[in-house]
Chain A
């Protein structure tokens, strides 16, 4: 009987080993570019493999919430609508603003009126012509439906004038340097579709943009299939179809790429990249991302004895000196993150490099002593309850314990944290918040205002540090109305220097995004804001 048992156990173990064998599951190489800004192609060996078909399949982590590009949505929705809808202007892969539906643009001397000359002969998927009236119709939709997300872009517009069939002027209430960046996020939708009684319902099942792909079919939570727009107005894709399959399990996503069921997967979890990085048929692409990670320090929070530790700049700086960002990048992100050198990512416009707070425990301890906190204190940190977020917060806890700060982790679902962090000062329970921020339009204002401006304390924004620096606020407000690039750059550089010096946060790091695709995928571009460009992508057959 024992023999039988031994035999069965051995068989089970062999099966397990066989299943794991062949994969390079060794821990990730920690020499990965922790502080490099250059995108790295970890496996650029080509195997000469060819695609068996002309249908591009992309395995993604989460499903789109809605396909109406004017409804609030998540990153996955943004990715899919990006392929079906276009904007007047767009970004290239180096985050420069370039023409798209508009072929040129100019701004009036007072900086309030922008005039766009549109490309001619473009049609929406439903056959409607794209022209100046169509641009105005988008603005009108926002006026009629204030609940739509598009109003975030149009809220400071006061007028849209149709100058001619292919020229349109947009007037703002006052000059705003973020306008050009923000207009890249405003997708043009067919006026006929928007005029429907249930426009959002229609747009959830049909596409009505000018983009290179047309919506073909969709199973909520399952997949979204797009087909090539045969009437596309410029050089379009060569693939017949583009399907986004929702694959929430990391290991399944990787397996799909290995078997060729998926041609592209995003994201590749940093902990699992070892499984595929030596596969000659796969390219692992490391790209800079705009996601910036930090811990907010509530400057108004008081200990039971009434002292406010984070109100003292020396304490806030001490926490930064006690935090080893390089180790954080290696431990939490397997090396696929960058040491922070300002208060937002270097992919953002007007980034100004600051001197990093390198690990210096002696300095940290002496600052704590000067501030009267040499014995440390107990503090709670709220964090989303995903594995990687909790791992990061645990790392923060370990680092701060070196200077006597005892951090207590409070993991919650993100929806519960969203409620906690929107509570105003009188009722907030947030002491520290482990969080991240990214700006899809790469603008400096969007990377600072909602999270650091004195007027953006909850519930108006996410400044849960309750940090309020008059000079910083003024710089942001002034810069918004400036039109001279040098002046704007100076203002934002000064603002970054102030926040960096005052440390309303512990500056943690800046993610890289890992994507992977088959070597036969060609022409794929990736934007640091987290969007692939499939218009130029193809499959080598």
Chain B
């Protein structure tokens, strides 16, 4: 297992290199000039040139790329063109908000989603199944911004239960947590239901029943555990998406997370910040996939890492 992990981590190095080249190329393909934006509308040509020279934007692209990579290997992600803050410091400060938001969503949504899915599968075709799947469809179709704004209007403005913005008390986590988690809950409910239904049709479930095992044991030891592999894969992808920042939740609840940083940086053409963020996002996906692969072995010990 240790060797497998090490190999997987080593494999990410060339992957990250390729990603860095693509990211660098694409962000420089975008129309727009950060020096112009930074200088402001009343800037003279000389001022724009001075800014371009100060940030090394006047050098050929290939030179800019190698300078960037050279610094990156020394652990320096450059400085934000917009705020002049080191990109690593900027991302770290935003990451703390994003991770709080992600945790707020994950604290309930996966459990609720899997619970609903499993119960719906067991009670397939009944009233419970209908209600569960209706909830899932509503959760999938309710856009985050609608849910957030409705929540703010009803629970913050009318009832005064929760604050509108920030993440500084347990109350302030409730609404963002609902907005962040609803989609995950709904997706996982759908997947775990279908995965569970598939597993219930397997021969080993029939065998277990034929052996006269109690229904609860059949369901949870044989069916549920095996149905989890698919669910964990989906959950991993969902978490990866959340960690890249949820622009909508962050915008509505005024939380300075990574999603808003990315959008602001793109609008400003803040090259070092965009580059840094995209590299971090790619890295997060790689790591989450690794964790998911590890979890397969925990769920089903027959899976080996050779």
Q: Which residues of A contact B (CB under 8 A)?
A: 1, 4-5, 8, 12, 15-16, 18-20, 22-23, 59, 63, 65-66, 71-74, 146-147, 149, 151-152, 200-201, 204, 219-222, 245-249, 251-252, 255-256, 258-259, 261, 412-416, 418-420, 422, 437, 446, 450, 459-460, 462
Which B175-227 residues have C-beta < 8 A from chain A?
none
Q: Which residues of B contact A (CB under 8 A)?
A: 30-34, 36-47, 50-51, 54, 82-85, 90, 93-94, 97, 127, 130-131, 134, 138, 149-150, 152-154, 156-158, 160, 163-166, 251-256, 260-261, 264, 267-269
- A sample of 26 cross-chain residue pairs with beta-carbon separation below 8 angstroms, ordered by A number, consists of A1-B130, A4-B131, A15-B154, A18-B158, A19-B150, A22-B158, A63-B264, A65-B82, A72-B51, A73-B40, A146-B46, A147-B50, A151-B47, A204-B84, A220-B94, A221-B264, A222-B255, A248-B260, A252-B164, A261-B163, A261-B165, A415-B267, A418-B36, A419-B31, A437-B41, A459-B45
Rank and list the top 4 A-B pairs by shortest CB-CB distance, nearest first. A415-B32, A221-B256, A222-B256, A19-B153
**In the complex, chain A residues whose CB is within 8 Å of the CB of B93:** 219-220
A18–B51 Cα distance when bound, in Å, is 52
**In the complex, chain A residues whose CB is within 8 Å of the CB of B30:** 416
**In the complex, chain B residues whose CB is within 8 Å of the CB of A246:** 254, 256
* New A-B pairs, 12, CB < 8 Å, besides A72-B40, A152-B42, A249-B252: A19-B153, A23-B157, A59-B254, A149-B47, A152-B43, A221-B264, A245-B254, A252-B164, A415-B267, A418-B37, A419-B32, A419-B33
Min distance, Cβ B53 to any Cβ of chain A, angstroms: 8
Closest residue on chain A to residue B37 by CB atoms: A415
Closest residue on chain B to residue A451 by CB atoms: B41
**In the complex, chain A residues whose CB is within 8 Å of the CB of B31:** 412, 415-416, 419-420
Closest residue on chain B to residue A420 by CB atoms: B31
Does the CB pair A460–B165 fall under 8 Å? no
Indicate which residue in A8, A74, A219, A256 contacts B256 across the interface (CB closer than 8 Å): A219
**In the complex, chain A residues whose CB is within 8 Å of the CB of B130:** 1, 4
Indicate which residue in A15, A248, A255 contacts B156 across the interface (CB closer than 8 Å): A255
A220–B268 Cα distance when bound, in Å, is 15
Closest residue on chain A to residue B82 by CB atoms: A65
A147–B84 Cα distance when bound, in Å, is 13
A19–B146 Cα distance when bound, in Å, is 11
Q: Looking at chain B's contact residues, is the secondary structure mostly helix, strand, loop, or mixed?
A: helix
Does the CB pair A259–B256 fall under 8 Å? no
Indicate which residue in B36, B83, B158, B252 contacts A65 across the interface (CB closer than 8 Å): B83
A497–B44 Cα distance when bound, in Å, is 27
Does the CB pair B38–A72 fall under 8 Å? yes
Min distance, Cβ A439 to any Cβ of chain B, angstroms: 9
A313–B44 Cα distance when bound, in Å, is 29
A420–B33 Cα distance when bound, in Å, is 10
Does the CB pair B157–A259 fall under 8 Å? yes
**In the complex, chain A residues whose CB is within 8 Å of the CB of B33:** 415, 418-419, 422
Does the CB pair B134–A72 fall under 8 Å? no
Closest residue on chain A to residue B248 by CB atoms: A249
Does the CB pair A252–B153 fall under 8 Å? no
**In the complex, chain A residues whose CB is within 8 Å of the CB of B138:** 12
**In the complex, chain B residues whose CB is within 8 Å of the CB of A220:** 83, 85, 90, 93-94, 256
Min distance, Cβ A14 to any Cβ of chain B, angstroms: 11
Min distance, Cβ A201 to any Cβ of chain B, angstroms: 7
Closest residue on chain A to residue B94 by CB atoms: A221
Does the CB pair B157–A248 fall under 8 Å? no
Closest residue on chain A to residue B155 by CB atoms: A19
Does the CB pair A450–B42 fall under 8 Å? yes
Closest residue on chain B to residue A456 by CB atoms: B44
**In the complex, chain A residues whose CB is within 8 Å of the CB of B83:** 65-66, 204, 220
A74–B42 Cα distance when bound, in Å, is 12
Min distance, Cβ A488 to any Cβ of chain B, angstroms: 21
Closest residue on chain A to residue B152 by CB atoms: A255
Does the CB pair B254–A247 fall under 8 Å? yes
**In the complex, chain A residues whose CB is within 8 Å of the CB of B50:** 146-147
Closest residue on chain A to residue B55 by CB atoms: A147
Does the CB pair B254–A249 fall under 8 Å? yes
Min distance, Cβ B269 to any Cβ of chain A, angstroms: 5
Q: A1-B130, A201-B84 are in contact. Are A255 and B153 (CB under 8 A)?
A: yes
**In the complex, chain B residues whose CB is within 8 Å of the CB of A147:** 47, 50-51, 54
**In the complex, chain B residues whose CB is within 8 Å of the CB of A249:** 149, 251-252, 254
**In the complex, chain A residues whose CB is within 8 Å of the CB of B163:** 259, 261
**In the complex, chain B residues whose CB is within 8 Å of the CB of A420:** 31
A245–B149 Cα distance when bound, in Å, is 18
Indicate which residue in B32, B37, B84, B153 contacts A71 across the interface (CB closer than 8 Å): B84
Min distance, Cβ A249 to any Cβ of chain B, angstroms: 5
Min distance, Cβ B147 to any Cβ of chain A, angstroms: 11
**In the complex, chain A residues whose CB is within 8 Å of the CB of B157:** 23, 255, 258-259
Interface centre among A8, A222, A258, A437 (most CB of B within 10 A): A222
A147–B43 Cα distance when bound, in Å, is 10
Does the CB pair B32–A418 fall under 8 Å? yes
Min distance, Cβ B34 to any Cβ of chain A, angstroms: 8
**In the complex, chain A residues whose CB is within 8 Å of the CB of B149:** 249, 251-252
Indicate which residue in B40, B54, B84, B134 contacts A8 across the interface (CB closer than 8 Å): B134
**In the complex, chain B residues whose CB is within 8 Å of the CB of A460:** 44-45
A300–B153 Cα distance when bound, in Å, is 52
Closest residue on chain A to residue B254 by CB atoms: A247
A248–B267 Cα distance when bound, in Å, is 14
A462–B84 Cα distance when bound, in Å, is 27
A79–B162 Cα distance when bound, in Å, is 29
Q: A8-B134, A147-B51 are in contact. Are A415 and B156 (CB under 8 A)?
A: no
Min distance, Cβ A30 to any Cβ of chain B, angstroms: 25
Indicate which residue in A8, A20, A412 contacts B153 across the interface (CB closer than 8 Å): A20
